[in-house]
Amino acid sequence: MSEIQDPLRTMFRQAADVGQVRAGAAPVAYIAERGRRAHRRRLAALAAGACLVLAGGGAAAATLLPGTPPPTAPATSPSSGHPRSGPPSTGLPSSGAPTPPPSRGRPTTEGTGGVTYPPRTTSPPGANAP
């Protein structure tokens, strides 16, 4: 039995023959460039994923950590030209009885009966310098 000649089938065969003649392999440079482009896309996706993971970890750590710590006092107290508002702390418990202010110029004879003199006043550093 012979095949019936179908005009549509004949046209498809002719088109396939023409396409086969014109078809050729793509240049090597083109194929290599496509490979490099795909590699760059994979690396960019990997870098973006790593950034998202790090950012998510940082946000989670910031959320889970406790709040801000209370402020700490400086290691040394700042020196200013103004005296402190309260009496200086001696580290000893106060007895509750007020102490009289020290006298200036003349000796006092309080307590033990001996004579005590008020402390000498010294000039601040650099006061005598010209």
Q: What is the pLDDT of residue 1?
A: 40
Q: What is the pLDDT of residue 53?
A: 97
Q: Quickly count: other Cβ atoms within 10 Å of residue 106's Cβ.
A: 7
Q: Which two tokens stand for residue 51?
A: 């950034």
Give the three-state DSSP class for 121: coil
Tens of pLDDT along the chain (130 residues) come to 456 788 899 999 999 999 988 888 889 999 999 999 999 999 999 999 999 999 999 999 988 887 777 788 778 766 665 555 555 555 555 555 566 666 565 555 555 556 666 667 666 666 665 5
Domain parsing of the chain, residue ranges = 7-64
Q: Which two tokens stand for residue 29?
A: 């440079």
One-letter amino acid identity for 56?
G
Candidates 99, 120, 119, 121; CA nearest to 111 is: 99
Q: What is the pLDDT of residue 90?
A: 58
Q: Which two tokens stand for residue 102?
A: 């020290």
Percent of the chain with pLDDT over 90: 35
Is the Cβ–Cβ distance between 93 and 87 less than 8 Å? Answer: no
Q: In whole angstroms, what separates CA 49 from the centre of its chain?
A: 22
Which H helix or E strand runs over 45? Answer: helix 28-64
Query: How far is Cα 43 from Cα 87, in angstroms, rounded to an integer?
Result: 69
Q: What is the pLDDT of residue 36?
A: 98
